[in-house]
Structures are given as C-alpha cells and as structure tokens.
Amino acid sequence: MTSVAMTVASMLFSGSCRSLAMPAAARAVRISRAALVNNRNKHPPSWCCRSSHNSNTALAGEAEFLTTDAGILNATSSSDSFRKYDRLLPCPSHKTPPRIEHLVVSEGGPVLEHICKALDLPPLYVSDLIQFGAVYYALVCPQPPPNATEEQIRVFKEVTEPSVLRKRASIKGKTVREAQKTFRVTHVDQFVEPGTYLRVHVHPKRSPRCYEIDWRSRIITVAESYVVLDKPAGTSVGGTTDNIEESCATFATRALGMTTPLMTTHQIDNCTEGCVVLARTKEYCSVFHGKIREKKVKKFYLALAAFPLPTGIITHYMRPIDMAPRLISEDFIKGWHLCQLEVLECRKVPWPATAIQDKYCIEDCGWPSQDYAYECKINLLTDSSSICCL
C-alpha cells in the first residue's frame, strides 16, 4: 500500500468559526463588474467584458503596473500606440487589480494580433499571457452571464445563429455545447476564425513565493516514473486557471533539469505544505489515479488548531460546484458530496513563536487564548474533504 504523508506546518483553525490562516500569496481575488469595451482599431465591436472591483481604480492600477519605474523595458510593437510595460517576469512585488476580458473574434487571424488590437496591449505582454496559460478560446461563444448588456447579448445571438454556425466547417460534427468548451491558447500564431470566443486573464494571479524557494532541496525522491516533492506553503501544485507557469510542477521540473514537464497526480491546498507526487509520464498518472481509486494511497495531515478537537470521524457535505467559495453543511443535503476525515490524535503544544507566525504568514484571527495550541494528526478519508472544515 502506498502511503503519502501530507504535513500542514502552519495552519490555525477554529472549530467554531472554521477560519484558516492562509499565506497572502495564496489568496484569490473576485470579479464583480462587467462593461462593454469597443475594438479600438476600426473593427466591429467585440463582445468584451472588463471586470474589476472598480473600473477607475482598476484602470489607474493597470496604468501604474504597465509604467512602473522599476525595470521598464523598451520593447514595444512596431506601432507606437502600444504602451511600455513590465514583463510578467520577473514577478512584480505589488498586486494588480483583477481584470478578465471576454472577446468574440470579428476577423480571422493570429490570436496574438487580435488580442493586441482589441485590448490595446503590447504584443510581448500578450505573448507572456499565452505562455502563462492565461488565454482561452472556444469555437463558439458561451451564453453571456445574467448581467450582460444588451449589446453583448446581441453579439452573442448574431454569432450563434444556426445559419451562421452551419457555415463554419470547424464545428461540423460537434454539438453547440461541445463547441463552447474552452481550451488554452498555446501559441501566439494560433489562428482564430470569426466567431471564436476568447477569454483573456489580463492580470493573472501571481505566486511570488515560487521565487523564494530552493526547489532542489525540496525534492525527496526521483524515481523512473515519478518525483516526490516536499511542497512549500503558499504555492500551487499544478498552477491556477490563469497561471500554469508559477507552479510546483514547473519549478520542480526546472530544478531537476528535466526536458519533459512533470505532471500533477493529485492536489493539496496552496496554504498546505507536504509531500506531493508528480508523474514523469502519462502512464504513471493513470497508475497513481488507480491507486487513489483503490484506496491504496493514504493522506495524513498535521494541523495546528486553536482549540482541542475530539478524536474520531468528522463528517460534512460539500456543494458539488467546482468553484470558490466551497459551500459546506454539517447536515445532509441531497446531491452534495460526502466529506469525511478522522482525527487520530490531538495533543497540547506551545503556541507558535512570533518568528514561526511571521514565516508562515499566520493572521491574527482574534483567538481568545494564545498560550497553547493543539497539534492534530488527521487521516483524510475522502478526497473532497478539507482541513479547513473542522
């Protein structure tokens, strides 16, 4: 039986408020507003939703991001209309406002060219976004959200008319639902035809923690078909929706000097550190997934609680929607996933020293007592269970 030990070195949670201390780098930002943006290069209007907490704040922050004094590059396109900017690498020390753009291609051509024109972004910046995995496409535009404008709805109806879709050879043999499935754009010269939907994460979520780690020292085992990594806290195993560059799999691959990228076989939370298994081949991915299905992989966690927890099995139910926030319930709800974990041990330990709290970015959540904490050994019984649900 394969045993994978997962350690959680710096997690504080409360049985009453269910809060979890998380490194700042692991937090996600939310999208809240959409506005129509017209194509600036005399093309017909694109279906384009500019999303941010506040449009004025977002644009001001973006201008600062693109013209910051530190390390400005002189690389611009052949047109002087594009602004100078800092490349996505090196990783900026400051946060950028959230921005996601949704476009419908009006004229066929290279994806890089269309995004640059539609969003007035420098080609090198868009190229970096594609490298980061922050640009997606679908052959057919998906249904606009409930808060879409009349113009957005009009464009959607126009490009998804059955008479229009019948003329597109690229979607023959596919249902509309199949053609609306999104895929990552992987090359700057990828051709996009009229009617293609594009989603551009202009400001990807960043992981500055990746650049602080001695990744070679975190490698535990290198086998013929897999690598075992001691994952640092504050990092993503396989990347995020808009950033596959800054991930454990990518940095471990580089640390080992491998030419073939390592692949993820399972996940642990960004705020968690401990052992993860990365596959060197697709075949081993299947092998490891089979071990998980057959319950041959055990996952053990060490978690630090603010209050003592009784030993035994804890059960809750999670809403079956793969998006944050993950809603949970202590009561059974039909259709929700069963999540179970077992508290094997709970022992009283000194409260973490200030240096430890600073190292792991533990937030002061107003704990009533900070004299002692409780170290819990946990056996994760179902893959959908979450430590933060205690």
Of 214, 269, 322, 364, the catalytic one is 269
Query: Measured between alpha carbons, how far is residue 77 from residues 62, 73, 122, 198 in Å?
Result: 19, 12, 6, 22
The answer for residues whose C-beta is within 8 angstroms of residue 64's C-beta and 6 or more apart is: none
Buried b (16+ CB within 10 A) or exposed e, 101-118: bbbbbbeeeebbbbbbbb
Q: Which residue has the tokens 């972004």?
A: 121
The pLDDT value recorded for residue 100 is 93
Q: How confident is the model at residue 44 (pLDDT cuts 50, 70, 90)?
A: very low
Does pLDDT of 42 surpass 60? no
Mean pLDDT computed over 203-207: 91
Most distant CA atoms of the chain, gap in Å:
71
Between residues 250 and 22, the one the model is more confident about: 250
The pLDDT value recorded for residue 245 is 92
Q: Identify any residues that bridge with 2 across adjacent strands, giving them in sequence order.
A: 297
Amino acid at 141: C
Per domain, the residue ranges of the chain are 2-26+207-389, 55-201
Q: What backbone torsions phi and psi does residue 246 show, to the nearest 5 degrees?
A: -90, 80
Q: How confident is the model at residue 359 (pLDDT cuts 50, 70, 90)?
A: confident
What are the pLDDT digits (tens) for 299-308? 899 998 888 9
The pLDDT value recorded for residue 317 is 95
Does pLDDT of 80 surpass 60? no
Q: HSE on the CB side for 32, CA within 13 Å?
A: 8
Does pLDDT of 341 surpass 90? yes
Question: What count of other Cβ atoms lies within 10 Å of the Cβ of residue 76?
Answer: 15
The pLDDT value recorded for residue 326 is 83
What are the pLDDT digits (tens) for 287-320? 999 999 998 998 899 998 888 999 999 999 999 9
Mean pLDDT computed over 128-132: 95
Q: What would the DSSP string read from start to end of 172-227? A: TT--HHHHT--EE---TT-EE-TT-EEEEESS----GGGGG--GGGGEEEE-SSEE
What are the pLDDT digits (tens) for 21-37? 323 222 222 222 222 23
Amino acid at 194: P
Length reported for the chain: 390
Range of 52-61, 326-335, 366-375 with top mean pLDDT? 326-335
Report the percentage of the chain scoring pLDDT > 70: 75
Query: Measured between alpha carbons, how far is residue 110 from residues 107, 117, 155 in Å?
Result: 10, 11, 21
Query: Measured between alpha carbons, how far is residue 372 from residues 5, 335, 349, 358 in Å?
Result: 25, 39, 6, 17
7 vs 26: CA distance, rounded Å: 17
Return the closest-CA partner of residue 235 out of 247, 243, 251: 247
Poorest-pLDDT segment among 75-89, 240-254, 266-280: 75-89
Between residues 132 and 71, the one the model is more confident about: 132
Does pLDDT of 325 surpass 80? no
- Give how far the C-alpha of residue 293 lies from the chain's centroid of Cα atoms, to the nearest Å: 25
- In this structure, the strands spanning 197-201 and 312-318 are unpaired
Does pLDDT of 47 surpass 60? no
Q: Which residue has the tokens 């319950």?
A: 295
Q: What would the DSSP string read from start to end of 17-56? A: T--B---GGG---------B---SSSSPPP--B---S-HH
Mean pLDDT for all residues in the chain: 78
Buried b (16+ CB within 10 A) or exposed e, 276-300: bbbbbeeebbeebeebeeeeebebb
Query: Measured between alpha carbons, how far is residue 333 from residues 313, 318, 340 in Å?
Result: 19, 9, 15
Mean pLDDT computed over 96-100: 87
Does pLDDT of 127 surpass 70? yes
- Which listed CATH number (3.30.70, 3.30.2350, 3.90.350, 2.160.20) goes with 2-26+207-389? 3.30.2350
What are the pLDDT digits (tens) for 184-202? 999 999 999 999 999 999 9
Is 214 a catalytic site residue?
A: no
309 vs 318: CA distance, rounded Å: 21
DSSP tag of 387: G
For residue 342, with 0-12 CB atoms within 10 Å meaning exposed, 13-18 middle and 19 or more buried, which class applies?
Answer: middle
206 vs 129: CA distance, rounded Å: 12
Mean pLDDT computed over 204-221: 94
The pLDDT value recorded for residue 283 is 97
Does pLDDT of 387 surpass 60? no
Q: How confident is the model at residue 84 (pLDDT cuts 50, 70, 90)?
A: low
101 vs 318: CA distance, rounded Å: 30
